[in-house]
Amino acid sequence: MTPKDILINAVDPALAMLAKLGVQSDDRARVLMMAIAGQESAWQYREQVGGPAHSFWQFEEGGGVAGVLYHPASRDKIAAVCAELGVPCTADAVYAAMVDNDVLAACMARLLLLTDPAPLPNVGEVQAGWDYYQRNWRPGAPHPEVWPGRYGTAMGLVNQTGATNV
């Protein structure tokens, strides 16, 4: 998949699904989700090379997966997503399904962002996006030098595909 494919076939359907559950998203979410997928997997790897993480957003079972499943801001929403997608709402089932189910993975990414009480950074606020990513993903090897490029690519893709507000 190309980054554009991820945006169109995973991120946008996930945001539409979550909108039905009351999770409002706009281009701030789209850009940040795409930048994080670029940062975590270079929009290429559904399974971490040499590591345990799954999906383009590189979730670990005991980290981000458990965080979304059990956080008060996200647990009811991910339960509804799992029910709709036919995935048992358990850490092991979600973690396993995220390898191939890009919509589930994108829902997880958006819901992890939802657990942060701070508002999403505005589009174009590269440093604020980096800070948001760092705070919520807590990457072991952050590579700040590639973030501006990943963020710029994400912003360009969102601009190319048109604005959305779901």
**Does some domain include residue 166?**
no
**Does some domain include residue 94?**
yes
Express each pLDDT in 82-99 by its tens digit: 999 999 999 999 999 999
**Does some domain include residue 31?**
yes
Q: How many domains does the chain have?
A: 1
**HSE-CB for 35 with a 13 A CA cutoff:** 34
**Does some domain include residue 15?**
yes
Per the structure, the complete domain to which residue 38 belongs is given by 3-161
**HSE-CB for 63 with a 13 A CA cutoff:** 13
pLDDT tens over the chain, length 166 residues: 899 999 999 999 999 999 999 999 999 999 999 999 999 999 999 999 999 999 999 999 999 999 999 999 999 999 999 999 999 999 999 999 999 999 999 999 999 999 999 999 999 999 999 999 999 999 988 999 999 999 999 999 999 987 665 6
Structure tokens at 61: 């079972």
pTM of the model: 0.96
Locate all alpha helices (DSSP H) within the chain, ordered by sequence: 3-6, 12-19, 27-41, 66-70, 75-85, 91-97, 102-114, 126-137, 147-161
